Chains A and B, each alone.
Chain A
Amino acid sequence: AQRVTQPEKLLSVFKGAPVELKCNYSYSGSPELFWYVQYSRQRLQLLLRHISRESIKGFTADLNKGETSFHLKKPFAQEEDSAMYYCALSGPGATNKLIFGTGTLLAVQP
C-alpha cells in the first residue's frame, strides 16, 4: 500500500541552525514526491517536487530510493520558515492523486 510517514510531529530549532524534516514512503514503483507547506493562516501550497530538483526558499530535498526517503533540508533556518510541512507522493496513472503524510510542525526560535 502507498504510505507516507513523517515521524516528527514537531521540530523545534534555533534561527541559523540546520533543519531536516524527515519523510519516508512506501510504494512499489517509481513515485513522484512533493513537499507542501502551510504557513499560519495561509493555504496549503506546493514547496517543491523531486522531479524539478530545485531549491525553493533555501530548501532542498533529494529522493533516496534505496532508503525510500525524501527528507527536506535547509542549512540555516529562518524564523519565517516556521510552518506546517507535509510530504506527499503521487503514483503513476491518470488520477494524480496525492497521498499525504501527517505533517511536521517546524518552529524556528529566535
Chain B
Amino acid sequence: GAGVSQSPSNKVTEKGKDVELRCDPISGHTALYWYRQRLGQGLEFLIYFQGNSAPDKSGLPSDRFSAERTGESVSTLTIQRTQQEDSAVYLCASSLVRNGYTFGSGTRLTVV
C-alpha cells in the first residue's frame, strides 16, 4: 500500500476483555515497530520485528501484551485482560532502510 495502515482507528473495550490491533506496513518494508503513546507522554517503544522474527521485545510492559507478524507483512498486537492503564494510542511504523520510519495513524484504545 501507499502507507502504513492501522485498524481499527478507535477501539473502546471493557476492562478484562482482549483486544487485537492490526498494522499493515508498507509493502517491502522488512522492519516493523510498535509504540505506545499515553496521554501527555512521549512514544514508548514496545516491540520490533525484522521480517517475521522479533529480536527486540524489551518494551512490552507485561505478559498480557504479545505481537506477531506473518509473511513479512501484517502485524497484530494483542492485549489480553485489558486494564485501564492500557488506554493509549498505539502506533505502528515500518522501515526499509535504517532510520527511515513511516508511521501509521494509530489506534486509539480506551479501556472503560
Contact = CB atoms under 8 A, between A and B. Distances in A.
Interface of A: 4, 32, 34, 36, 43-46, 49, 86, 88, 90, 94-103
- Secondary structure call for the A interface: strand
Interface of B: 3, 31, 33, 35, 40-43, 45, 48, 50, 55-56, 91, 95, 98-106
B56 A43 contact: no
A34 to B, nearest CB: 7
Contact of A43 (B33, B95, B100, B104): B104
Contacts of A36: 101
A96 B99 CA distance: 6
A103 B41 CA distance: 8
A100 B103 CA distance: 14
Among A34, A88, A100, find the residue whose CB has the most chain B CB atoms closer than 10 A. A100
A46 B103 CA distance: 9
A46 B45 contact: no
A46 B33 contact: no
Contacts of B41: 102
Nearest to A88: B43
B101 A98 contact: yes
